[in-house]
Structure 1
């Protein structure tokens, strides 16, 4: 038997296990939690609208119906796992000993005990590891929440974990949470099959039960024209690309004069599988150089002189590779490097930087906050340098990989400083897009554009929650910036149409429920 009890009169959710006067009652969250209570589902809800609250309500419901069993929420990163733990601890009438965080830092003995707690927060990787070790009773779980469920494809740990749980415990409830799903119906179906979901609950900011809780977000596209000098550098790189494409065509490898990165990577994949061509290092080196050139042209056109200069420096550190050495000695590419060095010595960079300064000056007042998204760490560093020099209290939020990455502790410190007002601005890479509880910002700037509808939705959700917000998207004309922007819009629109259509027609995967449970 399933039931959900809410107080109709209160402005807060009143429910067993939920602390009183803690969580604002929002109609759409209550509606979604009620809709998914008895069937495996995927919840698609824009960033910032409280997917974690829905997860909490679902787990509270599960504890009411199955008080002796364990609820589990999985998230892709340790930072997200700890964030969920803090939210649940502050929102539920459970003690620290009843809610646990499980990571690889715990000893095996400690993990064995923690897996039996009332609520478990973990990464899927540590769960998979302990499932393989046989130290978990999979029948003890009543519900599992897959945060950022769009990752549940291919070989990602969500897939084997869900299969293991379901094969041993087909009464378990599985819910996935995400801001967006892929635009292709086959990929959505793959995700649904992988977590045995039968239903999608979709909301956007225009949904009737969501509208009362969101504010208008103005999206302003600002077109940026490259300077003549950057255009010259870009054209020199394009000539180098054409030169390498010609070399490959002369060796029987058909590529257009202006190949896409996708086409080059596909060609590399094909050659590496071929017994003969895989030994042709001249062909392979030329293809690898094309990848470097295509990456480089994207950096100079969408990020700027300083970022491209740092990219070239990293290439120079790899000159032991004959392919890299030949690339750096190519007359057109070496000329592009010389011009880059000259521009850097003159302090010239991408026109986006000057525009960013004026946007900040025009939009930030008093305690207003902003988040700037950039795809590359070098660009994050440059933006930090420029805006810090203008007197802004600014921090960064980047991933932990590499020598210059941020630890989990440093990431959380940056978020807390933005929340407390110590920082006016955070400059973030992709780590700031997915799931992290970034404080409400008046202004969000897309310094560059991504083709992913999911990432676009995640970026957009950082403003317009509690008050009207503004999004500014920089689009460098005639570059990947422009292409990515329009691809993301097409994919977002297609994704929403596909979800609505599939939710009407989707047939859930064959289940073992039914007679099996009586045998």
Structure 2
């Protein structure tokens, strides 16, 4: 069906005719889908006329009660749920709950959080014909993805939707806020427009927050909700996340910051989820350090011990077993030293110890890199942050680890035994499965991503690799990707141009990268949120496999603790939602006398028009094609 015919059917869900029909009969008359009008019957001008008529009719029915400004009483006799997608009972139940309470939806990745958001937004769009609906996502690529996804679910006319970015002039954004109804943007843009009074806060009726676990501290999500609630409490909040937080304290912060009064949580074991989720096998592979790396570990600990000994000697640090120590413990000790410096230490001595703390924290980070990623990642890290580091570490590292991991016909030097295990897993996967299979590999550090890509790139064309990283940062490290380049990489991977994506944490969250059959995690994550996000990249449409490759010792213990934390967190939420303090004043968005009944209806959406987005992006900075190629194809590595 064309976009214009879609608008016509949508607008017929409004109108005075609804008031004269029974709720069960009205949608059939208002939203016909069995016939497609002839294109010649009306053109864009007639669409505009139809829009004006629909809006005028809706405005005549607006609730004039001061408690519900802008409310259309005639449309609220029903809430509409689409049948153009297979009906899943859990999605329907969660959508209903989210209409009437400020709701945090915790649903495994790939099971339809965006679908639920689209349903909720659509109904508030109907109930408040002059209201504004906001969908916030943490990055511009996610914003661009979600506007199309919501359109495809509920078919709200693109002419009523807007994607706002910080690159749009402020006066232009003010006009967009005035003329459009649904807004897709980052929280930073939303906060800026609220601060300038560009965004009409009193007209905002529904706020959707994607990746809601980020709403901690003074994150922009928190600022937006605080700013909105300082002007009005008459808006619904729908928060979405695959996992609500790393611990109960984080979950409570999200609840408090986003004014959550109700939680809808489903795990992969939930009975109503099982029929719709595909099995994902998780394999933990523990790799011994081996003699060579164990020897380097011992040498590194000797270096670290020398710098730690002065902290111990001055009694600002207790003597610890360095192998079981953590960078976090060092940071806590430094904070305690700053708050209560020992009285026997004079000013110059305190400054010296402050420098020792900073150096030990950096060195201990290097130690973690050595144990998890290997010698090459350690070298590039130390080289990048310390002046004179080459003199200190030239004798520590063999020359082969200091150069590019790709050396033409030269053999690849494995900086860590985990690399050999990773290579074997990926090769076996591609040799056993059909050519259409795809693999995603996660590693937390850019240098490690480059090293993994170089190793696998030797097996082209069986393995066709590209890297995926966050935005560029200052310094001499591996160059990152702009958000435009991130979208380009995702699109090429989804379309099959490459079959292996090696990614930093930027690939963990909501971007639709298509179906992936194998996920390999090259490092352990202390925060269970990160691991859940990674695992959610597979098992969406068919059975998926997840392999976690861990170094024997500390990294293995970190992973085990993370899994235990995840289980305990889910249990604590399910059991009471025990101990959580919910927001007590979730607003009622409809008058007491109105209780909408469910009406299931086929919604037809037209073809999403990408031309608007392409025109916007073409006005931005254009990166050199050769630079873009070098980013996507890992052929030039740090030397």
- Please, what TM-score do these two structures have when normalized by structure 2? 0.72
Counterpart CA distance in 1 for 2:417 and 2:586 is 60
**1:284 counterpart residue number:** 354
CA distance in 1: counterparts of 2:509 and 2:347, whole angstroms: 38
Change (3 A) 1:29 1:278: farther
1:498 maps to what in 2?
A: 572
Distance in 2, Cα, partners of 1:251 & 1:399: 41
Q: Kindly state the Cα deviation for residue 6 of structure 1 after the two structures are TM-superposed.
A: 11
In structure 2, the residue matched to 1:422 is 497
2:419 and 2:582 mapped to 1: Cα distance? Answer: 50
Tell me whether 1:400 sits opposite 2:471 in the alignment.
yes
1:65 paired to 2:127: yes
Number of the residue aligned with 2:438:
369
**Residue 385 of structure 1 corresponds to which residue in structure 2?**
454
Indicate how the Cα distance of structure 1 residues 285 and 505 shifts in structure 2: closer, same or farther if over 3 A, else same. Answer: closer
Contact 1:233 1:339 in 2 (8 A): no
Given that 2:260 and 2:586 are in contact with CA atoms closer than 8 Å, whether structure 1 keeps it comes out as no
SS at match of 1:134: coil
* Match of residue 378 from structure 2: 308
C-alpha contact (below 8 Å) 1:217/1:468 kept by paired residues: yes
In structure 1, list runs of 5 or more residues that go unmatched: 320-324
**Deviations 1:312-335, CA, capped at 9 Å, x for gaps:** 32134x34xxxxx6xx766xx664
Alpha-carbon RMSD across the aligned residues, in angstroms, is 2.9
SS class of match (1:306)? helix
Counterpart contact for 1:448–1:475, Cα < 8 Å: yes
SS of 2:421's equivalent in the other structure is helix
Residue 87 of structure 1, aligned match among 118, 127, 149: 149
Residue 485 of structure 2: which of 392, 410, 432 is its match? 410
Q: Determine the C-alpha separation between the residues in 2 that align with 1:409 and 1:384.
A: 21
Q: How many residues align?
A: 496
Counterpart secondary structure, 1:36: helix
SS of the residue aligned with 2:530?
helix
Over 3 Å counting, the alpha-carbon distance change for 1:283 and 1:473 in structure 2 is: same
Query: Once the two structures are superposed, what CA deviation does each residue of 1:173-210 show, in whole Å capped at 9, x if it has no partner?
Result: 01111111235333322211111111100011111211
Counterpart check, 1:337 vs 2:397? yes
TM-score (norm 1): 0.88
Contact 1:18 1:91 in 2 (8 A): no
Contact 2:187–2:220 (Cα < 8 Å) also in 1: yes
Please say which of residues 125-134 and 443-452 is displaced more in the overlay. 125-134
Measured in 2, the distance between the counterparts of 1:427 and 1:357 equals 12
1-side partners of 2:401 and 2:131: how far apart? 63
Q: Which residue of 1 aligns with 2:231?
A: 168
CA distance in 1, matches of 2:548, 2:246: 22
Q: Does the C-alpha gap of structure 1 residues 298 and 248 become closer, same or farther in structure 2, counting only changes over 3 Å? A: same
C-alpha separation in 2, matches of 1:105 and 1:156: 21
User: Counterpart of 2:125 in 1: which secondary structure?
Assistant: helix
Distance 1:430 1:512, change over 3 A: closer
2:254 match: 191
Which portions of structure 1, spanning 4 or more consecutive aligned residues, are displaced by more than 6 angstroms? Answer: 3-7, 15-20, 274-279, 342-346
Tell me which residue corresponds to 1:359: 425
Deviations along 1:48-85, whole A, 9 cap, x unmatched? Answer: 21211111111012112212211101111111111112
Q: After TM superposition, give the deviation of residue 351 of structure 1 in Å.
A: 1.5
- What is the rounded CA distance, in whole Å, between the counterparts of 2:90 and 2:83 in structure 1? 19
2:325 is the counterpart of 1:252: no
Matches of 1:478 and 1:6, distance apart in 2 = 62
Preserved CA contact (<8 Å) 1:73 1:144:
yes
> Offset at 1:390?
0.7
State the secondary structure of the residue aligned to 1:471: strand
Q: Distance in 1 between matches of 2:383 and 2:519?
A: 31
The answer to whether structure 1 residue 488 and structure 2 residue 548 are counterparts is no
3-state secondary structure, aligned to 2:219: coil
What's the counterpart of residue 215 of structure 1?
278
> Aligned to 1:413, what secondary structure does the other structure show?
helix
Please state whether the residue corresponding to 2:272 is helix, strand or coil: coil
2:619 aligns with: none
Partner of 1:438: 513
Stretches of structure 2 lacking an aligned partner (at least 5 in a row): 1-22, 34-77, 593-639
CA distance in 1, matches of 2:272, 2:401: 55
Residues 157/312 of structure 1: CA separation in 2 closer, same or farther (3 Å cut)? same
